[in-house]
Amino acid sequence: MKYPRRLSSGANNTVIALSETEVAKLFSGDTRSDIGSEAEKMRFANAINELIVRFSRLDYNDTLEAEMLVMERIYPIDYRAHEVERRELWFDVFADELAQLHANGFVHRDLKRPSGLDGLAFDNILLTDRGLRLIDVGISALKHQVGDKIFARYVAHEQDELALFRDYFLNR
């Protein structure tokens, strides 16, 4: 199916632009991910800080016959458009905000993995002119759902990926 105003068709979902300020992640009948749980995780993280893209609403598009997760639209810029000194500051804020999410029971779990075969590593981390933001909570986990032990393992793994991201972000 060809979607109008498509931004991306990732491994699991297509993302389309709705306006200058909103995008929608489409969930059609054959997507395996669950729109309700993705929305819930996004709302959970939004209540902690502003690192994860802001959730707007769930909707249904009759023409496209798709469920839509509507969220804030982000306009990413290339890392190398900014001096490494500035990127270091942005990285520190990012690491603090990620730690704050962890401390409050949210782990993203998808910092590094590319979206689909042609995806790039770290493509869920978007740089804006106001700093780094995170999208795609598809496989994120909440501590109250997975329990302390599994959550701690996920967090340890995320910290390893954060160190890899630091190297990528500052030395590329």
Ligand X SMILES: Nc1ncnc2c1ncn2[C@@H]1O[C@H](COP(=O)(O)OP(=O)(O)O)[C@@H](O)[C@H]1O
Instruction: Tell me the closest approach of the beta carbon of residue 159 to ligand X, in angstroms.
Output: 21
**DSSP summary character for residue 52:** B
Residue nearest to ligand X (CB): 10
Q: How far is the CB of 83 from ligand X (least distance, A)?
A: 24
C-beta of 31 vs 152, nearer to ligand X: 31
CB of 92 to ligand X, least distance (A): 23
133 interacts with, out of ligand X, Mg ion, none, CB within 5 to 8 A per kind: none
Least Cα distance to 99 among 30, 40, 159, 17 occurs for 159
E strands, 28-83, are 55-61, 66-72
Report in angstroms how near the CB of residue 85 gets to ligand X at its nearest.
27
Long-range contacts of 117-121 (CB under 8 A, 24+ apart): 117/11, 119/10, 119/11, 121/168
Asked whether 90 and 133 are in contact (CB, 8 A), the reply is: no
Q: Are 25 and 18 in contact (CB under 8 A)?
A: no
In the complex with ligand X, which residue's Cβ is closer, 74 or 152? Answer: 74
Task: Tell me whether residue 32 or residue 149 sits nearer to Mg ion (CB atom).
Answer: 32
Report the interface residues with ligand X, using CB under 6 A: 7-8, 10-13, 15, 23, 25, 53, 71-74, 115, 123-124, 135-136, 138
Binding site for Mg ion (CB under 5 A): 115, 124, 136
143 binds, among Mg ion, ligand X, none (CB under 5 to 8 A by kind): none
What 8-state DSSP symbol labels residue 22?
E
Residue 86 CB, shortest distance to Mg ion, in Å, is 25
Task: Phi first, then psi: give them for residue 150, nearest 5 degrees.
Answer: -65, -40
